[in-house]
Amino acid sequence: MKVGIIRYPGSNCDFDTIRYFENSFFIWHNQTDVSILDDVDLIVIPGGFAFGDRIYAKATDEYVIDPGAMALNSPVTQIIFEAVKRKIIVLGICNGFQILVKLKLLGGRLELNRTTLFVCKKLSCIANYIENGEEKTYKTKLYIANSHGRYMCDPNDRNKINQFLHYDENVKNEYNTNIAGVSNDEKTIFGMMPHPERNNTDFKMFLYKILFQTKPNIQKYLSTQTHFDDKITELMASEHISYKTTKRYLKTLHTQEPWVIQGPGENAGIVDIGGGYAIAIRIESHNHPTFIDPFEGAATGVGGILRDIFAMGARPIAIMDFLRFGINEDSILKLSDAVQGIAYYGNCVGVPNIGGNLCKSETYNKNPLVNVACVGLVKKENIIYGNANNVGNLLIYVGSKTGNEGINGAAMASKEFTDNMNLNDMKTNVQKSDPFLEKLLLEACCELSEMKYIDGMQDMGAGGLLCASYELIHRGVEKTNMQLGCDIDLSLVPTKYDMEPCNILISESQERMLIVADPSKKDEICKVFNKWDLEYSLIGTVTDSGNYDIYYGDQMLYSKKINEMAQRNNINDYTYLNSSINYNHLNHSMKSTKKKIRSIESDYKRIREKYYSSGMIYKKSTSWSIYDSTVGNRTIKGPDKRGKYAILDIHEVNKQLFFTWGHTFKDCHEKMKRFVGVKPLCIVNCLNFGHPKDSLTDLSNVICDLSENCKKHNIPVVGGNVSLYNSTDYKSIKPTPILLMMGISN
């Protein structure tokens, strides 16, 4: 769809409008060439002042106020009338509405507000439209910003007015009626006082349905495009995916040392261990899903972290889990299910669980935490990155069929819980696990890594196929500086049953991988998938369009510039600024008073006090015995032996990996220093906090402490995870960072 935005001198909503309507361009008020309307589907006259409100000979001359009248003699009026003649949809917003009235294209008149003052506020509105022959309504909130917004008409004409939008609250102080928008009889010309372009994305789809109800093909396409756009925006802007609240702090972390091959920003961090080998390491949280469905939430947490590792071409050789649960009866049941889920997945895949810990506290009664780390071994020459760098590369889907599991899971993980939530209804947001299929996928991907058949690989985790494909292309753009894009056909995605196309794109079904490959390698790759009895499909290609284009068969459903998606994802949310916490709801010393941030040393002391003064119970539990801790025959020290550390044998280079963990850098480092001849290589972190309004001071202090110590000791952070909104009914958990340090014997 192509949109022309008419721009008069003095328009002050012109740029807001051109950003709101995609694929739009300006038509200057002196334009008279009607050929500019060729291929245009919509003309919009935005709001403004000067030219629209005043009549003058020259801008510096005297004037009189008469909103919309000046536009009568503007050359662009010919364009407007030609658009009406061609049945092109015309929309006037605020001052643009006034212009349409002055041009006699819409009935009635707009007069000075009853208060005689300019008014700007958000009002509840109800829109009426027809879709597929059925009358429908939609309620929303829209901003008004006007001084001449009082719509008037003769009483005898009131019944003749085609009203499509009205105010759903008392506006008698400003206006005589609740009329907010009207159209002509043919429903091709529309005028509205509220501003849809002002901070209201939910209304756009319904605005298109209103404007194009006489053009069902366009209405259907725009509704689909907007539906996709809303879903994609919700996911991309979620805290879980965008890190919009925390990335400004995370950027301060120390991430580089000579032995770091890959730092934060990929599926896993990678460090060089010599002898042509490297270690991939990652830690993730699966907190919200575990609260809803403890078994599946914890199990799929293991599955996701395993895929992050073998997506880099590495074979997983160990996992560790760090559990925080409450002390009430419900927490005991949830803990049992979660431990069984972790054991079920790890044991089936054949990756040893070599360590971790379990802590119990009242603070986790309604917000359990499940953090899982994974370590993988890879030859340096076999490392695979999550990028698509070459035009013409194939996008190959492999693994489980797609279902409706996990729809909006990332958005769900970016919100706090309430006591009145129906957990059974929310279980559709939690993925279902199949570790047997994961094992086949793991072996196939490791085989392809060894054969060097693939150019890129990405797990379809949070955000599903949407985020996997976007990340592949976006990283490719960053690495090559080329205008890369992709075409994806959702009809080619294997599904468990009939699904809405948008849900196919954003489903978070487990055990799926997206492969990037040169077409010349396609047959060999398919042979490997057939060998492991895996279902696969060629669902798309890498293009040079710069667009993210989604199809279902021949029908285009969605198109967006990759750089626009990147801008949407690259946001910083300053809604919640650093502030002190007050944990009055807990019966332990969790209170902090307002004070300025002190030195690192005093912050460190305060942080430790919070961690250890809150009635935390550290469990040496026999639960670990249900984990297979020795499969793979690398475990030198696992959970069956005393000590809060783990040791793995890396016989390929005749060295051992050492792992220590804790809440602070000092916890990890002090333990690591006990091992003679062991060099700390890196650290990964899982930062579990409550609602941002409670947590940002503590979060920034934890990151500051970590950054300073990592720089001081030359130990880089190569990856991590932030989990916010661990909160129920406005009660946040205590700050719970989990740090895991890895060292290697000389």
Distance of alpha carbon 457 from alpha carbon 445, whole angstroms: 9
Cβ contact 463:503 at 8 Å: no
Catalytic residue among 29, 240, 669, 691: 240
b/e map 641-671, b = 16+ CB within 10 Å: eeebbbbbebeeeebbbbbbbbbbbebbbeb
Establish how many alpha carbons lie within 13 A of residue 297's alpha carbon, considering only the half-sphere containing its beta carbon: 29
For 386-423, what is the HEC assignment? CCCCCCCCEEEEEECCECCCCCCHHHHCCCCECCCCCH
Q: Which amino acid is at 328?
A: N
Output the CA–CA distances (angstroms, integers) from residue 273 to 82, 266, 331, 616, 653, in the order listed: 71, 19, 41, 36, 8
Encoded tokens for 624: 């670990």
Geometric angle at alpha carbon 341, from 337 and 346, rounded to 5°: 150
Encoded tokens for 24: 């739009």
Catalytic residue among 29, 148, 286, 663: 286
Distance of alpha carbon 204 from alpha carbon 62, whole angstroms: 40
Residues forming beta bridges with residue 318, ordered by sequence position:
375
Strands 369-379 and 277-285: antiparallel
Q: Is 329 exposed, middle or buried (0-12, 13-18, 19+ CB in 10 A)?
A: exposed
Geometric angle at alpha carbon 204, from 199 and 208, rounded to 5°: 155
Instruction: Identify whether 240 is a catalytic site residue.
Output: yes
Phi-psi bin for 616: left (phi > 0), alpha (psi -120 to 50), beta?
Answer: beta
Angle between helices 216-236 and 464-480 (to 10 degrees): 80
Instruction: Identify whether 286 is a catalytic site residue.
Output: yes
Active site residues: 240, 286
